[in-house]
Chain A
Amino acid sequence: MTDSAARHPPPIADSPGTVSRTLAALDLQNRRTFLLFVGPTVVVLVAIIIFPMVYSLATAFRFSVLYKPQASRFVGFSNFSSLLGSEYTQVAFLNTAIYTLITVTIEMVAGFFLALLLSRAIYGARYFRTALMVPILISPIIVGLSWRFMYNPSIGIIDQALSGIGLAKINWLTDSKIAFWAVMVPDIWQWTPFVTLVLLAGIHSISPEIREAALLDGLRLRHMIRYIYLRMLVPVIVVILLIRFIDALKTFDVVFILTQGGPGLSTMLISIRTWTLGLINLNMGQAAALSYMIVLVMSVFVVGLLRLLKQRVG
């Protein structure tokens, strides 16, 4: 390698097609070095991401039950059609859609107003902001177990408190009419702070001049929210929506620990259904098919949101 080559390394590939161009531009020794550094990463990515994805996609089109290896065969879209025809899957999809819509909406609204509040000069806001981190840092398993104890009608703090003020105890997780709403609370509790903190950072990034100008123009708070904050925070909101929607659609741990999808099908989510198909029924074909159906739904949503983001930012 010449001194000048060492001092001026070739540009890093940052767009499609530049990898091959970069390789072509390199001399033999540099090309070897490049492949030596990039090669292992590519191998690892193929081994742990690309191969499992392709393999599971192929499994989705096969009859693949772990304990019937001899019966494994290609069945086309049969796994998908039987899943779509199943009441359990339909309920799970519907529940997941409602769960996602409600939890994310509440988290966004509550998170926005909390962020707005914390953006003001409030005594102790600094400590409150730190405290907000706590729920985010707790593992979902622990969140699930804690809320299971809190919801327990005999020993749980919530029903104890209700009894203390003379109200009747509520069977939060065992009454199928209440359980679905009760399992949303831990999610909202855990993730509203995340929305708050990210929006707070967004609010702080709005130039003070803009806010001052708006105030001089005599804008009221609701107008400030509508014309300043919401408009300027669109990119941040879209990113939060993206993260939270994907997370909420995948929710498993907390709900599984709280109710295992019961009573009946009242808290059955698509992730719990997938778990049942894969790890109880050992039907890998159907579990893979359902996973890809979830991926499809998520992809449609993500593409939609990204387009919105592109339009707004553009």
Chain B
Amino acid sequence: MTSSTTPKFERWQVNRRHLLKTIGAGAVMLGAAPTRLLAADATLKVWAASGQRWEFANKGVAPLFEAANPGTSVQITGTPIGEYGSKVAAAMAAGSTEWDVIQLDYAQLPQFAPAGWVAPLDQWIDADEEYKKSLSDIPSNVLALYRSDGKQYGVPADSNAMMTYYRADILDKYGMKVPDTWDEVVEIAKELHNNKSGIYGYVGSLGRGLYAYLGLLPVIWSYGGEIWDEKTYEIKIDKGDAGFKALSVLTELVKYGDPASVNGTDDEVNSSMASGNSAMAPSAWGNTVMNDPKYSKFADAIKTTVVPAGKPGLKVPAMGGLGHMVVQRSTQKDLAWKYVRFVTSDDPAVGKAWVDNTGQPARLSFLTNPQFVKEHPHFPTLADTLKVARPYGGGLPEAYAIADVIGTVVSSIISGDIAVEPGLKKVGDETYKFLTDNGYSATR
């Protein structure tokens, strides 16, 4: 075969000119790389859940940290919240030394602290009197979420709790008052359904598993009930009438509310409210979407209040939130702590950067700051809600697993597959089985 007939790829080779060209191109690309990365003496790797509240907020604060710490660069990696927890756990279990700081859901601390994956922060906190004093600005029950075995493993820059979002204009239009009890929520849902307003009176995130479990909590707690006793592991859901009332309320709400609630996640709730399909989300997670005119033309009409009561005056929303923690295997733990301290500090400039970048702070001074409240009108409600909110998961390392078991049965009940009464027994049986299978001395 002559060279003219040989295909081009057969004749391809690397000569000295090619090699020099490649090296030159590489040098140009290196020159174009962000100068701050090249100039950095140290690079801090922060792993957060992606998007609003977490990744964006960290990215908002990082430049301030870099400015305050010349020679330090912060790299923030975001992973979707649905897979973030398991990916972080897998990385830690594999002994990864890649990460310095993680922002973790408190419900996973009972997994991470005993496994030795995160470092206790007490040595640094105790050595910093000013910072330690400033922590009184974070509600003590929120700070306690990140404590295990007497040690503080995390400090939250972020907080969350369930609250009631409602359309003030719709309630006004139909002469309804803001509901104070779950019974009133059911009444509103029923009335808006029956008067053919075209708007649902209820939307909730009750999808199978974790969502349905979380959806049950503020209702059963507000009737004074429990699924299981967190100290004695006694199964309580089918004892007394709180469980029955709570599941009856949810079943009624689903009947009259937005059907999307049955498989609903936060997305369904936010979009149903933001698009004007629903007038009320009585136990929605706090978020910066619904009140944002960029996302909803009803933003100004959507107001918030603390979740409804079951028993008179008993309002008990579930608590959310992700705290900043130092990874035990980090090779630069002091620097990692420096970042945690910075991002969770009471410096108003840091707070502003956090809030401006969709963050939802844990500090009461930020949640009640008039400038921030103007931007996010639900902050004062969140501040009030945090005072009465309760953590979910019962402090078990198997929090998500038990939530999946309970939430699956709850989903069957609210979708009508199982009636409320036998359903209650089934929740009790499944919870008992789960706890005993996992080595807890549960009683029935």
Contact = CB atoms under 8 A, between A and B. Distances in A.
A264 interface: yes
Interface string B199-242: 01000000111101000000000000000000000000000000
Contacts of B259: 153-154, 171, 174
Nearest to B86: A279
Interface in B67-100: 83, 86, 89-90, 93
A173 interface: yes
Query: Which of A152, A262, A265, A278 has most chain B Cβ within 10 Å?
Result: A262
Contacts of B207: 259-260, 262
A69 interface: yes
Interface string A255-287: 000111111111000000000101111110000
A262 B89 contact: no
Interface string B245-276: 00000000000001111110000000010010
B25 interface: no
A181 interface: no
Contacts of A155: 275, 277
Contacts of A67: 89, 93, 111-112, 114-115, 117, 397
A176 interface: yes
Contacts of A261: 208-209, 408
Given A174-B263, A260-B208, A264-B417, A69 B412 contact: no
A276 B209 contact: yes
A253 to B, nearest CB: 13
Contact of B260 (A153, A260, A282): A153
Interface residues on B, range: 35 or more
Given A152-B260, A153-B260, A174-B260, A263 B93 contact: no
Contacts of A88: 408
B404 interface: yes
Interface in B107-125: 111-112, 114-115, 117
A176 B418 CA distance: 11
A69 B398 CA distance: 14
Query: Which of A69, A155, A282 has most chain B Cβ within 10 Å?
Result: A282
B160 interface: no
Contacts of B244: none
A170 B30 CA distance: 58
Contacts of A265: 208, 408, 412
B115 A260 contact: no
Nearest to A87: B430
A292 to B, nearest CB: 20
A174 B411 CA distance: 10
A65 to B, nearest CB: 8
Contacts of A259: 207-208, 263
A187 B32 CA distance: 46
B38 interface: no
B293 interface: no
Nearest to A264: B412
Contacts of B370: none
A281 B260 contact: no
A109 to B, nearest CB: 30
A174 B262 contact: yes
B39 interface: no
B277 A264 contact: no
Interface in A160-188: 171, 173-176
Given A260-B209, A263-B263, A279 B277 contact: no
Contacts of B210: 280
Contact of A263 (B262, B275, B398): B262
Contacts of A282: 86, 89, 111, 401
Interface string B376-411: 000000000000000000000110110010001101
A154 B86 CA distance: 33
B415 interface: yes
A154 B277 CA distance: 7
Contact of A69 (B115, B212, B411, B414): B115
27 contacts: A66-B93, A68-B115, A82-B437, A154-B200, A174-B262, A174-B263, A176-B415, A259-B208, A261-B208, A262-B208, A262-B209, A262-B262, A262-B411, A262-B415, A263-B208, A263-B263, A263-B412, A264-B408, A264-B411, A264-B415, A265-B408, A266-B417, A278-B86, A281-B404, A282-B89, A282-B401, A283-B401
Interface of B: 83, 86, 89-90, 93, 111-112, 114-115, 117, 200, 207-210, 212, 258-263, 272, 275, 277, 397-398, 400-401, 404, 408-409, 411-412, 414-418, 437
Given A152-B260, A154-B277, A266-B417, 19 more contacts: A67-B93, A67-B111, A69-B93, A153-B258, A154-B258, A155-B277, A173-B262, A174-B263, A259-B208, A259-B263, A260-B209, A261-B208, A262-B209, A262-B212, A262-B415, A264-B417, A276-B404, A280-B209, A281-B398
Interface of A: 66-69, 82, 88, 152-155, 171, 173-176, 258-266, 276, 278-283
